[in-house]
Chain A
């Protein structure tokens, strides 16, 4: 396979770089040559979701032009993947040239666990066999289904399969598909409701008695972390970080 493009998302680039690092390392371990197109910024979703279509369209064009040359694009985010795959073609439908370019980019854009399941299905399990022990069987985690990843991309099995293959035991929480309260700018426009939603989500996670909560979306990660007090025993981690820790064998090294 030719080099694949890593679109880390604006949030990971600026606030959660360790997620990008883990994603890049994981993809390299799986045998892919990874490139980081330097001109990338934001997929435009915050603007699209708050009604600023003109601004969203400009960022969509910027991103489509940037990602067009690559054979595949991988994102450590279900939400931004859904934006590129499902919204870009509609957003750019007015101009046939942009529409078809958006369609082509949409068709080769993947969320991380989806990409691994499709193009490196045995990598995690094989890697585990080669480098035992990875994560001890005493590493139970619980997984939050982020909304766009679950309901727009229908990716429920892939992140779980990846976590299991890397050696984690998944303890399912009740209502794993219940929104964490982020919702992009919703979390800023209606912070009281947003925070109450996060409290409800974290309560469900805590009921599992597991101390690690995994999500595949940087937005949810940021939101849930923001409502966890330091020292209250719950650690929120990105899927890529959890997988990379399991594979590199240093589960404790990259604590938030």
Chain B
């Protein structure tokens, strides 16, 4: 996927014109924002906690190699196998390799942005292994053949009627009622069989704790627990930046994660995986693998973009973002949408593939305000815009206009001359004090274009009319 300016605008326009999508998006993001604010307000010292969290994340990233090596030692000591993947293809090869060695044909998955990022489902399918998403939202979009449009609510763009139609098709029935409890019951029934039949479970990881070699998952549906404990093999794919050195750090992390994401004090299920089943354990996987995914992250360390690695994927920046709330997640053409996606996608997947994303922001700053780690997303969007110009990725027309305008404005005399020409030039287009252009020529669509005033302020000042 890519996101050129044309692609972003076209996909955003589809979302903007979809009344049902707009209603669903506005309501869901609004609920998340209200719940987040209420949950944080109940937390004493919340601002100090955020400061402490940011400091912890920054300190962890400053010594990332050391923490990752500690994680590997501890995880290995409790019997897990740790794999290092430089890129997406390498990570996919590791996971499919494990599945093939075990003769697995069906895998269940719990929600994971890292596996979306590396397109693991496609790789599994190509190797003849069927992946089944078990997070309700992820399963819905898997059935629909779509990509997630929100980090924590992947099917935020779907209505219950659309879900009912998808489920009916999957069940081979003509119709199902668009009733949420009934649809959930259908999903439970269908997924239960998959949980029991799967030869391998694949999860992401919300964080990994270095001091005990544990992987921590949070879910609200319990599917994460099923995926990590029912099949004989569990593979967790996790970005190298998501490491908490100690359990104290993990506690701080978890206390901010669910509150920022959904406004819950904690997610319903917090699952900790520390190695495979031990002798005498009644259940649990025989093999646990942890795939530590780099995929462009390590090159951000020490760069002006290092701070983006502090992200914990809570989605708060998406919910508050006025651009995301109109354009929806699919406009971004990346598993990561919203403000975090606008920064992360170009950095991980290439600025040349995602040149529109740094511009998909009015720089309103709401994202920075709600980020639990106070990541300065607007600052990084500005840096990426400067990179676009420096790398020659801006269009020649834009470069000409920007450079010409700046040149004009360096001298007030030239500026006055050019604006005087503009005043003269706009005359035939003015009707009743409004600039009228044929709709097809108006670059800003249905919005009334501004026009130059009959007299500029400086003229009024010089003529003593102020």
Contact = CB atoms under 8 A, between A and B. Distances in A.
Interface in A51-75: 51-53, 55-56, 58-59, 62
Interface stretch (B50-58, B223-231, B443-451): B443-451
A53 B386 contact: yes
A235 interface: no
Interface stretch (A8-16, A133-141, A160-168): A8-16
Q: How large is the interface on B (under 10, 10 to 19, 20 to 34, 35 or more residues)?
A: 35 or more
A193 B327 contact: yes
B464 to A, nearest CB: 12
Given A38-B458, A49-B382, A50-B402, A192 B16 contact: yes
B387 interface: yes
B360 interface: yes
Nearest to B399: A52
A151 interface: yes
Interface in A1-54: 8, 10-18, 20-21, 24-25, 36, 38-42, 44, 46-53
Interface in B315-332: 322-323, 325-327
B362 A182 contact: yes
Q: How large is the interface on A (under 10, 10 to 19, 20 to 34, 35 or more residues)?
A: 35 or more
B169 interface: no
A197 B444 contact: no
Contact of A193 (B323, B369, B410, B452): B323
A116 B48 CA distance: 33
A226 B450 contact: yes
B365 A147 contact: yes
Contact of A186 (B363, B382, B386, B388): B363
B220 interface: no
A179 interface: yes
Given A15-B453, A151-B366, A184-B363, 19 more contacts: A13-B457, A14-B453, A15-B452, A18-B453, A24-B461, A38-B458, A50-B402, A55-B402, A55-B406, A59-B406, A152-B365, A183-B362, A186-B359, A186-B362, A192-B12, A192-B13, A193-B323, A196-B16, A226-B444
Interface of B: 5, 8-9, 12-13, 16, 26, 322-323, 325-327, 358-366, 368-369, 382, 384-390, 394, 398, 402-403, 405-406, 409-412, 415, 419, 434, 443-453, 455-458, 460-461, 465-466
Interface of A: 8, 10-18, 20-21, 24-25, 36, 38-42, 44, 46-53, 55-56, 58-59, 62, 147-148, 151-152, 177-179, 181-184, 186-198, 200, 222-223, 225-227, 230
Query: What 6 A-B pairs have minimum CB-CB distances, sorted nearest first?
Result: A183-B362, A51-B385, A55-B406, A179-B364, A20-B457, A147-B364
6 contacts: A21-B466, A36-B458, A55-B402, A192-B445, A193-B327, A226-B447
